Amino acid sequence: MTADVSVDLGESRSLDWLLRFDARTDARYEAEYGRERQAALRQIILIGLIFYNMFNFTGLILMPDIPGLSAIGHLLVVTPLSVALAWLIPQIGPNVREALLCQAMIGVVAMPLVLFWVTTAPLGAYTFAESILTILYGNLLLALRFRHALVFTVVVFWGAMLAVATKTGLDPDLHIALPLQYGTGCAFSLYANYRMERQRCTAYLQTLAARSASEAAEAARRRYQGLSHTDALTGLPNRRLLDERAETWFAGPEAAALMMIDLDHFKLFNDSLGHPEGDACLVRVATVFAGFATGPDILAARFGGEEFAFVVRNVGAVEAVRLAGVLIRAVEELGIPHPGRSDGVASVTISVGLTLKPPGLTRNGSAMFREADRALYEAKRRGRNRYALAGDIGVAAA
């Protein structure tokens, strides 16, 4: 059974269905990437105007009855307003900026729709495609934020449907074909925008999570560094503090859990790469463990040699098993090469033995350590890179 779990290392951050950050995360994102966004928008707007005004040439061919109206709309209305918006972007806040972009794009699409609706030229219906290209520009190149892209796409779609439905002299077959083509273009571009925006937002949240883990690990290292109960190599609490904390928590009324952790085939690691590399490996693994031991009810310690231990208070079986699985996966994802292994695994992994103290019961610390150690042996016997729960025959693989 593969463990598929995660542990929140800091402040909870998530996206709603409109792909919006919470206010604090949004402000942090703007502080880091706001100027880059501003520069990109100004460049894309100016480049877009060049191609947008090419529609004046197609207007001469497709709408010879209203060439002046087309030129006025493109050159004297949309172009100066777009240039003004490009100039204004660095002067306004991010929320106003994105809302203005949405409104501006609705106006930009409205222009070719109005020309399509007004013209009576035989080829005038072909100008309908110009608004579809403009939708692709807004959703993909300009990359409107998804919530604005949704509003933009819905508004222009229904505007286009109104133009088709009320246009006089339009071929009846086009009353079916044009909405179908237009709806497809809107749906595809909106879906592409959603995927792009979701990737942008989730990538940033993952970056923040990594920073939080690193900051938590560094804070834990600094906190433990000055303690007399600190292991000199890893900076984690040592066996002495572990024993004291375990005796106190196991004698208390709260539920508790103990995990004994051993690096798999660590002797072979030292034999292959030498003890300095072995020490470096222990430090890297300890840094990962420190990142998880940031609360008042959890302690990660170096037990001795390549063995570590976690003691956790106010935790049930489900949470304890979840943490064991996450620790195993976190060490595996470090990807520390282990050339000395002969079991087909090429990186450093850990095995975990877990035992629990139910709430309301008092347990002897030595007995708990013996149980966790037996569970650790069982995890190793079953193939390593997994955890075993004391008293549980059905041991799960991480």
Supply the pLDDT for residue 106. 96
Lowest mean pLDDT among 13-22, 195-204, 319-328, 362-371: 13-22
Higher-confidence residue of 392 and 394: namely: 392
Q: What is the rounded CA–CA span in Å between residue 197 and residue 202?
A: 8
Beta bridge partner(s), residue 310: 259, 300
Sheet holding 256-263, edge to edge: 298-304, 307-313, 256-263, 350-357, 387-389
Angle at 293 between CA 290 and CA 299, to 5 degrees: 105
Q: What is the rounded CA–CA span in Å between residue 256 and residue 355?
A: 9
Supply the pLDDT for residue 13. 59
Supply the pLDDT for residue 54. 87
> In 3-state terms, what secondary structure has residue 10?
coil
User: Is residue 209 predicted with pLDDT exceeding 50?
Assistant: yes
- Locate 38 and state its tokens: 């501003």
Q: What is the rounded CA–CA span in Å between residue 301 and residue 189?
A: 52
CA distances from 270 to 137, 143, 188, 337, 381 (A): 58, 52, 55, 12, 21
- Locate 18 and state its tokens: 């409109």
Q: HSE on the CB side for 50, CA within 13 Å?
A: 4
| Highest mean pLDDT (candidates 15-19, 41-45, 293-297) | 41-45
Supply the pLDDT for residue 57. 87
CA distances from 114 to 186, 204, 343 (A): 18, 40, 71
Burial of 362 (0-12, 13-18, 19+ CB in 10 A): exposed
Supply the pLDDT for residue 392. 63
Query: What integer best gives the mean pLDDT of the chain?
Result: 90
Supply the pLDDT for residue 246. 94
Q: Structural domain boundaries of the chain? A: 23-209, 239-389
Supply the pLDDT for residue 74. 86
- Locate 294 and state its tokens: 């940031």
What's the pLDDT band for 395 if we cut at 50, 70, 90? very low
B/e letters for 195-209, b = 16+ CB within 10 Å, e = fewer, are: ebbeebbeebbeebb
Question: Is 239-389 a domain of CATH 3.30.70.270?
Answer: yes
Q: What is the pLDDT of residues 316-351, one digit of tens each?
A: 999 999 999 999 999 999 999 999 888 889 999 999
Active-site residue list:
306
Q: What is the pLDDT of residues 137-156, one digit of tens each?
A: 999 999 999 999 999 999 99
User: Is residue 225 predicted with pLDDT exceeding 80?
Assistant: no
User: Is residue 104 predicted with pLDDT exceeding 50?
Assistant: yes
User: What mean pLDDT do residues 62-76 have?
Assistant: 89
Supply the pLDDT for residue 393. 37
What's the pLDDT band for 70 if we cut at 50, 70, 90? confident
User: What beta strand segments (E) does the chain contain?
Assistant: 256-263, 298-304, 307-313, 350-357, 387-389
What's the pLDDT band for 224 if we cut at 50, 70, 90? low
User: What mean pLDDT do residues 252-269 have?
Assistant: 95
Percent of the chain exceeding pLDDT 90 equals 74
User: Is residue 8 predicted with pLDDT exceeding 70?
Assistant: no
Helix 174-225 vs helix 275-292: crossing angle, to nearest 10: 110
Supply the pLDDT for residue 217. 83
